[in-house]
Amino acid sequence: VLLTALSRVVSTFPDTYLLLVGEGPERARLVAQQDQLDISGNMRFLGHTDYTKIPALLAAADIYVFPSLSEGMPRSVLEAMAMELPVVSSRVDGIGEVIETGKNGLLVQPGDDAELSRALVTVLGDPNIARDLGTKARDFILDNYEFEAQILKLARLHRETVNRIA
């Protein structure tokens, strides 16, 4: 889905470059698809990447794309949001709990490469949209996942529980 979307994106933004982080059983098929779509010059497979290198990769990125077909709450999306990156993701399971489309990220239908490419072109084509989505993503993380905020939520939950029992 992502590679097909990328092939559409580069027709509008030919300098777009995708770094694909991670390793898995689909790599050979993806390499073949990359060649078939003629996007070899627009992407690189990084394979397994040591976790200590992820912050630098996120800092170098303009967009974080997460086109999963099925997912819980991926930590990588939260990390990208914390790094103030605009996130374009599939609308699956737990992701909808943190991303409100058009507010702090963009959500697309899982498996829809055309919708994914349109969302990417939207973010790439307007730096103000990209900046606004990234800023609001980071604000969301600070408000909801920052350590002190989590401690306050836990304390509130404990108080509510004690009050119900008492």
- Tokens 């300098």 sit at which residue? 15
Whether 87 contacts 105, CB under 8 Å: yes
Judged against a pLDDT cut of 90, whether residue 152 lies above it is answered with: no
- Tokens 């969301």 sit at which residue? 140
3-state secondary structure of 96: helix
Range of weakest confidence among 18-27, 56-65, 92-101, 141-150:
141-150
Q: 28-34: list long-range contacts, CB under 8 Å, 24+ apart.
A: 30/3, 33/3, 33/4, 34/3
Tell me the per-residue pLDDT of 45-72, one tens digit each, with 9 for 90 and over: 999 999 999 999 999 999 999 999 888 7
Whether 117 contacts 9, CB under 8 Å: yes
Average pLDDT over residues 114-119: 98
Judged against a pLDDT cut of 80, whether residue 16 lies above it is answered with: yes
Q: Around 139, how many Cα atoms within 13 Å sit in the side-chain half-sphere?
A: 10
Distances (CA, A) of 128 to 7, 14, 63, 118, 122: 24, 20, 13, 17, 10
Average pLDDT over residues 143-151: 80
Whether 3 contacts 39, CB under 8 Å: yes
- Say which residues have a Cβ less than 8 Å from residue 42's Cβ, sequence separation at least 6: 6, 10, 14, 16, 17, 18
pLDDT of the residue at 73: 77
How many other C-beta atoms lie within 10 A of the C-beta of residue 135?
13
Judged against a pLDDT cut of 80, whether residue 150 lies above it is answered with: no
Would you state the structure tokens that stand for residue 32, as one six-digit string? Answer: 């073949």
pLDDT of the residue at 58: 95
